[in-house]
Amino acid sequence: MNNRKKLVLIGNGMAGVRTIEHLLKIAPEAYDITIIGEEPHPNYNRIMLSSVLAGGTEMSEIVINDWEWYRENHISLAVGQKATTIDTKQRVITTDAGKQFSYDSVILATGSHPFILPIPGADKEGVIAFRNIRDCEMMLEASKQCKKAVVIGGGLLGLEAARGLIHLGMETTVVHIHDYLMERQLDEPAAKMLQRELEAQGMTFLLNKHTAGITGRKRVKGLQFIDGSEVQADLIVMAVGIRPNVELAKASGIDINRGIIVNDFMETSIPNIYAVGECAEHRGIAYGLVAPLYEQGAVLAKRLAGVETQGYQGSVTSTKLKVSGVDVFSAGNFTENAGNKALRIQDDLGSTYKKIVIEQGKLVGAVLFGDTTDGTELFSLIKRGENVEGREKELLLGFSLDQMNGGDPLAKYEAMPADEIVCGCNGVSKATIVDAIHTKGCSSVSSIKACTKASASCGGCKPIVEGLLKVYAGDAAAEPVKEGICGCTTLSRDEIVAEIERMKLLSIKEAMNVLGWEEPEGCSKCRPALNYYIGMLFPEDYVDEKESRITNERFHANIQKDGTFSVVPRVYGGVTTPSDLKKIAEVAEKFNVPMVKFTGGQRLDLLGVKKEDLPQMWEELDMPSGHAYGKTLRTVKTCVGSTFCRFGTQDSISMGIQMEKAFERLNTPSKVKLAVSGCPRNCAEATIKDLGVVAIDGGWEIHIGGNGGVKVRATDLLCVVKTEDEVMEWSSAFLQLYREQAVWNERTAQWIERVGLDYVKKALEKKEDRIALVARIEKTLSLTRDPWKEIIHDKELRKNFEQLTEIESVTR
């Protein structure tokens, strides 16, 4: 008989799900749990969205609990829908999808709404917030068409949004109503230092500006200010703050103020309904930082489990973060007034700043810029309310804490309070880490990360985790484990490739078994990598494992956000014929393709294709795949060159077509884009491609390592040659060297920055070495065929394809 009570969590965010994690640890059998989430995603780290926008992190890497976690813990999910009503008498929740859920207890973790300024034009196209994955996706998409962005709001979120937009190649201006940035976290001197750093990175600032309205007809054109000035923009991001999401609580008769009013046990005004996170207001305060929200969750979990707890007493907050690559920290009350004294030290040459505020002999506030290593210790002193009279200057200079503890650099970790939050991103306390060391046998940073999630996000707390490990694991502390290509192995790319080659391991399963994989089935990072490495080393003997490829490569089309696919036929050098255009048009009409679009790579993209139509569509197109989905040659962009252009010095069209026909279907560590320009005017943009060829009088320049994506990189000049045959020889040799030397998923730009241009030049300078590389790439190419030919003509493969029903979310 099931005696479990029904618990419904409304909100699938960080605070609510952390509460569930605590509850599962202390009372795993107490409740049948249902989670209702408005976003169609698993629980993810909202703090890391700025890293995704800046290109340093993939969407998949910010997931905290994946779908499997919900299944393993028997949690019922209702995602992609919104709870609209709570019948508090009948104890029933209804969603906008018409589903109903009965409950014994409810947790409201509805989070916050981004605040949109109530100004004329705020509803125009091109005005967005920066709060969730959808906002991030919209900004990524907008950056492809827009050139000038304005971010309203000079707080943390606004600056991170601005940094991401700069990475996306946009001219970005930050508008702020105050006279300095991040006034809630920094004082004026630190804020001015931050502004100088960000201006050096390309940001422009308009301070003391009050927005009057947004110009433009349907879409934004600019921003007007009360003083009559204005700034042009085709994208406006509002990052001016958040407001607790209280609509559901209000409609259900629950007492609200700014947030949902709760007591020390996170109970609302209605029995058995609780609130936690940004939507909750405790003692008049609604917190927006992670650490307080996790503290609330721990209290609530104990309350639900029937475990005694003194309740939530409120939080002294601190902020330790990295703003666009610059470390900043603040804690407590750092504002100067008549009742306190401030000490500060500023180093403009070293770009560091430190300020502490003393009141009645106690440390009450601190601001650090550039060097935040003392932040944790200072925050501990603030929370403890310890008297620091006589030690103020030592605290300022940063050497007092070791001296106070007998000179032992590890003593400060032992002195940390048990409830000190070490990992702000994931709300992990010192006590949790120490418990993992003592009771769960964690003896390395990686095992602590896996067990507690400390250091799993931004990594800023890793030094503290290492310090705690040394103190509490002692001799049992393992040597730092070398990190491999993923969490399944400690082996590096080079070690894996060397062992596969030495032992001629011809299957992924064999390689994992022989090389001692910790996870026998591998993961989404290592399986595609092994599939590539084995195929690269043994093209004649290896049978490509289709199941180890990503969804796009398995379906030979690009999956879109609505589950449909994008089909791109090959158009060599951007040159097509009337008959091919007619064929594409007829196929698009037959299969009701919603959109046919010209791409930046001079091809036609058929968007919105149903998965079940893909085999028949390719058969009727009877054209090679453009591989717009794969880690292979994507496009060879060309200008008209000497064929038509009066400035052209060489036949760039012919050269581009020759290269595309030579290298199509070539598997590479990451996607590869080529271009051929017929003169130095470079209309084909060859100098931001992985391999670019530029015609000059009497010859060709060969450029390598460019990237026109999130992180723009201009190419390096590899060499100058005279003939088309030499272009093919050097290009073939370069691509094969890249194939053999690069890490899986590493673009040529990243590879060249890692190994250096001189390394590549030296590897290719001898003709005999180039010829050997050319022979290997030609051997590989001779064994390839268009993947759609296999599916169309092989009945078994086609049957297998038609049975594939899984749709994964992938980043192109």
Percent of the chain at pLDDT > 90 equals 52
C-alpha to C-alpha distance for 298 and 432, rounded to whole angstroms? 12
Q: Who has greater pLDDT, 271 or 431?
A: 271
**Structural domain total, the chain:** 5
Assigned domain for 521 exists: yes
Tens of pLDDT along 323-357?
666 788 898 889 888 889 999 999 888 889 999 99
Tens of pLDDT along 151-201?
999 998 898 889 888 878 889 999 999 999 999 889 999 999 999 988 888
Q: Who has greater pLDDT, 424 or 400?
A: 424
The pLDDT of residue 799: 52
- Phi, psi (degrees; rounded to nearest 5) at 771: -60, -40
CATH of residue 285's domain is 3.50.50.60
Task: Say whether both 82 and 67 belong to one domain.
Answer: yes
Q: Are 645 and 676 in contact (CB under 8 A)?
A: no
Residue 811's pLDDT band (boundaries 50, 70, 90)?
very low
Q: Who has greater pLDDT, 124 or 478?
A: 124
Assigned domain for 749 exists: yes
The pLDDT of residue 61: 77
Percent of the chain at pLDDT > 70 equals 91
Please give the structure tokens belonging to residue 91: 């104890």
Alpha helices per DSSP H over 591-723: 614-621, 652-663
The pLDDT of residue 532: 92
Q: Are 603 and 574 in contact (CB under 8 A)?
A: yes
The pLDDT of residue 323: 64
The pLDDT of residue 479: 61
Task: Say whether both 765 and 677 belong to one domain.
Answer: yes
Task: Say whether both 645 and 740 belong to one domain.
Answer: yes
The pLDDT of residue 402: 46
The pLDDT of residue 325: 66
Q: Are 466 and 412 in contact (CB under 8 A)?
A: no
Instruction: Mark residue 645 as left, alpha or beta (left: phi above 0; alpha: psi -120 to 50; beta: remaining).
Output: beta
Q: Which of 520, 548, 576 is the last residue of a domain?
A: 548
Please give the structure tokens belonging to residue 518: 């910790």
Q: Who has greater pLDDT, 667 or 374?
A: 667
Stretch among 78-87, 512-521, 554-563 having the lowest mean pLDDT: 554-563
Assigned domain for 585 exists: no
Task: Say whether both 222 and 255 belong to one domain.
Answer: no
Contacts of 602 (CB under 8 A, 6+ apart): 571, 573, 574, 635, 637, 638
Residue 139's pLDDT band (boundaries 50, 70, 90)?
confident
Distances (CA, A) of 428 to 123, 291, 663: 40, 8, 50
C-alpha to C-alpha distance for 711 and 371, rounded to whole angstroms? 26
Task: Say whether both 643 and 781 belong to one domain.
Answer: yes
C-alpha to C-alpha distance for 757 and 736, rounded to whole angstroms? 16
Tens of pLDDT along 568-583?
989 998 899 999 999 9
Task: Say whether both 234 and 248 belong to one domain.
Answer: no
Task: Say whether both 107 and 198 belong to one domain.
Answer: no
Q: Which of 305, 329, 358 is the last residue of a domain?
A: 305
C-alpha to C-alpha distance for 334 and 317, rounded to whole angstroms? 12
On the question of pLDDT at 85 being above 90, the answer is: yes
CATH of residue 449's domain is 1.10.10.1100
Residue 56's pLDDT band (boundaries 50, 70, 90)?
low
Average pLDDT over residues 204-209: 95
Mean pLDDT taken over the chain: 87
On the question of pLDDT at 806 being above 50, the answer is: no
On the question of pLDDT at 793 being above 80, the answer is: no
The conformation of residue 599, written as its DSSP 8-state character, comes to -
Average pLDDT over residues 734-754: 92
CATH of residue 650's domain is 3.30.413.10
β-strand 100-102 against 211-215: which pairing, if any?
unpaired
C-alpha to C-alpha distance for 39 and 16, rounded to whole angstroms? 14
Number of helices (H), then strands (E), belonging to the chain: the values are 28, 38
Q: Which of 443, 461, 481 is the last residue of a domain?
A: 481
Assigned domain for 32 exists: yes
Q: How many CB atoms lie within 10 A of CB 312?
A: 23
Task: Say whether both 229 and 258 belong to one domain.
Answer: no
Task: Say whether both 263 and 225 belong to one domain.
Answer: no
Cross-strand bridge partners of residue 282: 262, 285
Task: Say whether both 459 and 537 belong to one domain.
Answer: no
Assigned domain for 807 exists: no
Assigned domain for 71 exists: yes
Assigned domain for 370 exists: no
The pLDDT of residue 720: 95
Please give the structure tokens belonging to residue 674: 């080529």
Task: Say whether both 779 and 647 belong to one domain.
Answer: yes
By three-state DSSP, how is residue 575 classified?
coil
E strands, 208-249, are 211-215, 222-225, 230-232, 235-238, 242-244
The pLDDT of residue 473: 83
CA-based nearest residue to 634, from 666, 657, 607: 666
Domain that holds residue 640: 629-785
Q: Are 363 and 382 in contact (CB under 8 A)?
A: yes
Tens of pLDDT along 358-410?
999 999 999 999 888 788 778 888 888 888 888 888 888 874 444 444 456 67
On the question of pLDDT at 320 being above 50, the answer is: yes
Average pLDDT over residues 710-734: 92
Task: Say whether both 164 and 180 belong to one domain.
Answer: yes
Assigned domain for 693 exists: yes
Q: Residue 570: is it exposed, middle or buried by C-beta count within 10 angstroms (0-12/13-18/19+)?
A: buried
On the question of pLDDT at 443 being above 90, the answer is: no
